[in-house]
Amino acid sequence: MTTASASSPTRLAPTEVVQPLWVRVTHWLNALGAILMVLSGWRIYNASPIFGFRFPESITLGGWLAGALQWHFAAMWLLAVNGIAYLALNAVTGRARRRFLPLLPRQFVADLGAALHGHLSHDDPARYNAVQKAAYVGATALLVLMVLSGLVLWKSVQFPVLRTLLGGYESARVVHFLAMCALVVFFIVHVVMVVRVPRTLRTMLIGR
């Protein structure tokens, strides 16, 4: 998608597939895994807060620390395995190149300005504007960072190099927490944009 202009982009036929089945399945599994990890992670955080606050127990998952850890590990495997499948299929099918490249800083600034002023076109759901590209690439990077930092927290002794790269165990906790916060912000913005352009939800549900 590009900024609105005098020439309208070509519209897709109603029966043309925008999101193939494998994208839809991995998308919703990624969303499920991320949500479970965040909610159980809040309960784990409450057991040993990094900062001077705790999350309300009513919005956490697991009931107690051991239960939250079980949910967290289960969601971790779902997120890791499904995420690897998503990245691999994007690479093999060429979708990553078609949908997310090129990602140019100049176009990002232009599309961000258009979005903030309500002038960004959504006529072609098969094409991502630069803001969408940056958001999806950023969200994928955050998920990868959450998994890597989570490995340090889970098996710190077994991953000494990774622990060192993240600045040690306590630094890995902070990285893990901040990556989670950024992912929650992405999720909120993502939901708001879906509400504004509801047909994007339709394409992620039925593909067309």
Mean pLDDT to the nearest integer, 86-93: 91
pLDDT at 10: 44
Of the listed ranges 33-47, 110-124, 159-173, 177-191, the one predicted with least confidence: 110-124
Split at pLDDT 50, 70, 90, the class of 127 is confident
Cα distances (angstroms) measured from residue 191 to each of 107, 165, 198: 23, 33, 10
pLDDT at 55: 95
String of DSSP letters for 96-132: HHHHH----HHHHHHHHHHHHTT-B--S-TTS--HHH
Average model confidence (pLDDT) across the chain: 83
In the predicted model, is pLDDT for residue 119 greater than 70? no
In the predicted model, is pLDDT for residue 101 greater than 90? no
pLDDT at 2: 37
Split at pLDDT 50, 70, 90, the class of 15 is low
62-72 pLDDT per residue, tens: 988 999 999 99
pLDDT at 122: 60
Rounded CA separation 83/25 (Å): 11
C-alpha 167: how far from chain center: 24
pLDDT at 160: 93
Answer yes or no: pTM beyond 0.85. Answer: no
pLDDT at 56: 94
Split at pLDDT 50, 70, 90, the class of 4 is very low
pLDDT at 8: 38
Q: Name the nearest CA neighbour of 127 among 198, 203, 25, 24.
A: 203
Split at pLDDT 50, 70, 90, the class of 143 is confident
Q: Name the nearest CA neighbour of 148 among 76, 64, 91.
A: 76
pLDDT at 25: 92
pLDDT at 132: 82
Rounded CA separation 23/48 (Å): 37
pLDDT at 1: 38
